[in-house]
Structure 1
Amino acid sequence: MLKLVFTGVWICAVSLGSVYFSIQHASAPVETDAEQQRRASQEYVSGELITVPVITDGAVQGYFLTKLSFSVDKAKARALDVPLKQSVTNALYDILVGQKLINVADTSNFDLANFKTAVKDGLNKQLRGEVIFEVLVEQLEYLSKADVARIANAANEKQRRPVPIVDKNGQTAHDQLPESEKRAAAAGQ
């Protein structure tokens, strides 16, 4: 019986000691000064839901529904001649309509990470500077022309939801703004 009590005390002491030492020796990730400055100068901007037509052979084949949000440089965003949301929406139409970033017929080669990078680089090029740090894809879906016609003509028919676009790695776009940034964006509108 005494052996069992000593074993229990020994296990408790070892457990408490290991927790104590792990807390004492754990350290937060080290951020460089450049990373701290970038975080201090950035803010999240919630984008608008936009509809981009997919044009093939001179005719509209369907529509992309996309909602993108951005991590931006505060000072550079305020220095723009046109407000950021309007500038970004205009630039997105140029990027998404002008470039074939997504092949709707074959989405097996679609790469979400490359899409985000292409949009970020295109936006920064159009805004003439490193204004956008990160692109968050909250929604990226496709509606064919037939789906739009069916929805418009059939009030009693069960509506189908847009089809989420899945990239070659099986990921769908579902990025979200940090909770504190959502509240700040909602208060600013």
Structure 2
Amino acid sequence: MIKLIITGVWVAIVTLGAVYGSIQLAKPEDPNAEAEKKKAVQELVHGEMVTFPVIKKGDVAGYFLTKTSYIVDKSKMGEVTLPIPAVLTDELYTAFVGDQIIRIGDNRELDVKAFRERIKNALNKRLGSDVVVDIVFEQIDYLSKDDLRQQRSDKAVNIVHETPPADIPAGKAAEGGH
């Protein structure tokens, strides 16, 4: 009689274990789990305020004031030999001064998404690895030469203003001055 009861309890335990195991295996994966894993290895590095001249007909017409931060993959930071802030400043200088991506007075809209992708891809190409995950333009302002002469910095034209993502931990601020 006791063997029959023990056998029944054993069968019930094995059956419950099999049902529990099959339910656990049949559960769909959490779609947010992959995104959370990626965010766990990302770090926001705050940039610094950088000024770029706007040159028209050989004369300085004004200045762009930018504050650009970037999100990096911490696991790939060991592969980087160049200082990211200096490379970022160089790429922004090429875009603003060399390529004149924003032409004040032409009433052209800046495609922020395309500009962000351009800078990110250029940085990753120069760094030799996909270290930079995203670019955050915290501020892009324009001050004309006349506004500066009048000491009226309240005339700044805000072109882009973004808030860094709150769900990515911030790293130390970029080193060095420009």
The equivalent of 2:18 in structure 1 is none
Give the aligned length.
147
Match of 2:156 among 156, 159, 162: 162
CA separation of 1:79 and 1:118: change in aligned 2, threshold 3 A: same
Report the AA paired with residue 158 of structure 2.
Answer: P
Q: Is the 8 A contact 1:43 1:71 kept in 2?
A: yes
Task: State how 1:30-179 maps to structure 2 within 5 Å.
Answer: 30-31=31-32, 33=34, 35-151=35-151, 159-165=153-159, 172-178=160-166
Instruction: Give unmatched runs, 5+ long, in structure 2.
Output: 1-27
Q: Cα distance, 1:144 vs. partner? A: 0.7
5+ long unaligned stretches in structure 1: 1-26, 152-157, 166-171
CA RMSD of aligned residues (A): 2.9
Which structure's CA Rg is the greater one? 2
Please report the TM-score for the alignment, with normalisation by the length of structure 1. 0.65
C-alpha separation in 2, matches of 1:107 and 1:98: 19
**Which range moved further: 134-143 or 71-80?**
71-80
Q: Deviations over 1:111-149 (max 9, x none)?
A: 222221222122222223212111111111100111122
Over the matched positions of the two proteins, sequence identity in percent amounts to: 33
Higher relative contact order (CA 8 A, sep 6+): 2
